[in-house]
Amino acid sequence: MTGSHLKALAALQSKTPVLIALYDQHDRLRFANPAFRAAYHVGPEESPTWEEIMRRNHVVGQGTVLKTEDIDAWIASTTHRRGKVPFRAMETDLHDGRWLWMTETVDQDGWMLCIAVDVTTIHAGERELRQDRDFALRAAQVDELTSVPNRRYTMGRLTEFIANCAENPHMWGCVAIIDIDYFKAINDRHGHQRGDEVLLDFARQMQEFVRRSDCFGRIGGEEFMLILPDTTISEGNRILDRLLERVRSSRPLENIPEFFYTCSVGLAEYRDGDSVTDLYARADQALYLAKRDGRDQVRRYTLPGSDPEVHPDQAP
């Protein structure tokens, strides 16, 4: 593309009513044309994160209409699903009365291109039907309590991850199963409502550690899964060690300031020929060792002769 072409492109993107935005792998706005900045009330020199844009617009009733009374839950739910597929399209409505058809295109490094077109003139009844469909789809994918992806969605992503690794020899990664330690005792001693508060706190802590390419979800009770594409088992171990440190320092129960909780983690890496059952079972076996050996730790499942962690002859 020549210099004149780039100059023409720059001039046109500044004049088009189409909204254009580019986010980096950390979901920080790196480019936005005037139409996008006007719609979401972002200053010419600002580079906020997507979450910052949503929160401040919600407070003053501008930008996207968020049909929620719990902005934290909405942010958590959307963040854990945002940018997890190479392309998706959706409708969204703005407080100024416009309806937008928005597409998100994500590259392998986690950068996201967002383009939105005004579709306000489309028949309102058709929009409502599509919005009802989108709400139903979200309900089928999200855990009701924590607002993170549910077991069905997370296991589907695990299936996709394994298929991608099998098709591409340059892809790799690992999977962690995370269990909140002594959760039954927490419920028995403090009540189920307090137990729910612990689950919600853990889901919030995880937001700091989940990258755009990762998938984090609740797979049952106090058990969660984290899928880490393009991550070696050593890198995954370091990420999860930081998570455990953060969880230890959390004090989620306001009326019981001395209360804290811990987690145990089983970590396994993808191997050629793995099925969902194979990879899940190895991570689960590593989790068993983490709990058996005192909890509040990460254990890795590795082959004999490699890192001295969990080997097949140690597994239950």
Residues annotated as catalytic are: 222
C-alpha–C-alpha distance, residues 66 and 53, integer Å: 12
The one-character DSSP state at 116 is E
C-alpha–C-alpha distance, residues 308 and 297, integer Å: 15
* Cα 27 to Cα 31, 56, 59, 256, distances in angstroms: 12, 16, 20, 35
Helix, strand or coil, per DSSP, at residue 256: coil
* Cα 177 to Cα 8, 59, 118, 150, 171, distances in angstroms: 51, 36, 42, 14, 21
Q: Where are the alpha helices (DSSP H) in 207-275?
A: 233-249
* Cα 246 to Cα 239, 243, 265, 277, distances in angstroms: 11, 5, 14, 30
Name residue 174's amino acid.
Answer: C
Sequence-distant (≥ 6) Cβ neighbours of residue 59 within 8 angstroms: none
C-alpha–C-alpha distance, residues 223 and 288, integer Å: 12
